[in-house]
Copies of this chain bind each other. A is one copy, B any other.
Amino acid sequence: MFRLSDIIEEFIKELMRGTGADTLEIQRNELAEHFNCAPSQINYVLSTRFSIDKGYYIESRRGGGGYIRIQKLEIARKPYLSHLIFEHIGDSLTQMDALRVLKNLEEKNIISSRERAIMEAAVNDKSINVFSPPKDAVRANIMKSMLSTLIRE
């Protein structure tokens, strides 16, 4: 069950927890060499796990002394939930993206692990056994609906 992308994700998160700071600077090639992978795999990890919607902001610079700066956004609960509901999710949401969003919500202590499990179950492909409106559309609805209960309170 060796998934390098997950390992790199954890490595970065662990590094951030370690320094205590909310920003981390890495060098793409160095990191790639550390994990013995193609440099572009780092981009893959960043775009799938450290996007704005997961609560991270990324800046980078090319050329000599270049870097990638990963910043963990400290957004308040409601604005973050609003962003998810009104901007990110839209009318289609894949299962993978849903799972990643939920993982981050738990990491940000916006939901408990029980709540995460409940929501994961609700947006799971196996639960949403539909044809006519595509699964991703139904999932988007359910997800937005669930998240909005958290804003209401």
Contacts and interface: CB of A to CB of B under 8 A. Distances in A.
Q: This chain: how many copies in the complex?
A: 2
Interface residues of A, number: 39
A3 B25 CA distance: 14
A104 B118 CA distance: 17
Contacts of A115: 114-115, 118
A142 B122 CA distance: 5
Given A25-B1, A65-B3, A117-B153, A122 B124 contact: no
A82 interface: no
B145 A138 contact: no
A149 interface: yes
A80 interface: no
Interface in A107-153: 114-115, 117-122, 124, 126-133, 137-138, 141-142, 145-146, 148-150, 152-153
19 contacts: A1-B67, A3-B65, A4-B65, A6-B65, A58-B126, A59-B124, A115-B115, A118-B122, A121-B142, A121-B149, A122-B142, A122-B145, A124-B145, A126-B145, A129-B138, A130-B130, A130-B133, A130-B138, A132-B132
Per CB-CB distance, the 8 closest pairs between chain A and chain B, nearest first, are A3-B65, A132-B132, A117-B149, A121-B145, A122-B122, A127-B145, A131-B132, A127-B142
